[in-house]
Amino acid sequence: MPQMTVLEILNRTKAFFERKGVPDARLDAEYIISHGLSMKNRMDLYLNFEKPLTDAELDTLRPLVARRANREPLQHIVGDTSFRGHIIKCDPRALIPRPETESIVDMAIERLKGIDTPFIVEVGTGTAAISIACAKEIAGAKVLATDISEEALSLARENAQANGLGTDTTDSATLTFAQGDLLDAMSDTAKIDCLIANLPYIPDGEKGKLQPEVDKYDPELALYGGPDGLTLVRKLLQQTEGKLSAGAPVLLEIGSEQAEVLKTEAGNYPWLDFEGIHKDYCGNVRFVSYRAK
């Protein structure tokens, strides 16, 4: 029997994924096959379409394909994802960073222009993707990343190390970590120059209704934020009183339908000015911003 080629396996995998309801079936098939065959990137597939696959190569691919067909996230299978060009390890310890979140780093960069050594705090860091991007892209920044989950922080520290930031906890470190509930994790009394948070904001009533990749594989602690999804966001905003430098931005990722709610409630935090509602790269409402008075 003639051996199957890369192209044949790609087409079969795409069709299999489509039957299983996998989004972006062709793209995911390319990523998984190129990963399983240890290619540098998925573009190498196009240079090797006619290459026959050995039995050993097929044996390597089968369990990877089966995992994706079971709707395990692609990022867990290949082991990482890119966030603003920084490679971030992904596994069930923390929420997978989404490309749509990348815009919040641009928002921080813009608002911190002219500040030589800004003190940035990210609450609910997860994989530390946002904190790593800030530490590497904002000159002179000192970043504190907090999370309530020790498992998430262990992954965050691994990502910091892999991105050349180490896990030093001294005052001179570019990126440090602390465990605790929102800003209660802070022991530093220094005023915050920029506060960033992508907290759980999915309403509790959505449990069991999300895509399998999220519902089955993302940690529940990182997803749900109370009856309307805003319990932790409101708690964090209350905690900011007295902890921000004058003019410091507060940048929050939220659900698109929650932005107007937070705008309406802005008067509950008289030490903050509600700055605006912002869209992501795809044109979807995703962020709100405040500024300390």
Contact 119, 190 (CB under 8 A): yes
The pTM is what? 0.93
Can you read off the two tokens belonging to residue 178?
Answer: 């602390």
Burial group, residue 56, by CB count within 10 angstroms (0-12, 13-18, 19+): exposed
User: Residue 40's pLDDT is what?
Assistant: 85
CA distances from 68 to 16, 200, 227 (A): 10, 25, 32
3-class DSSP assignment, residue 142: strand
Q: Parallel, antiparallel, or unpaired for β 249-253 and 194-197?
A: parallel
User: Residue 167's pLDDT is what?
Assistant: 60
Residue showing tokens 């209704």: 209
User: By C-alpha distance, which of 158, 146, 189 is closest to 171?
Assistant: 189
CATH of segment(s) 81-292: 3.40.50.150
Which residues of the chain register pLDDT less than 70?
1-2, 166-173
Contact 153, 147 (CB under 8 A): yes
Residues 63, 100, 24, 132, CA torsion sign:
negative
User: Residue 168's pLDDT is what?
Assistant: 56
Contact 288, 274 (CB under 8 A): yes
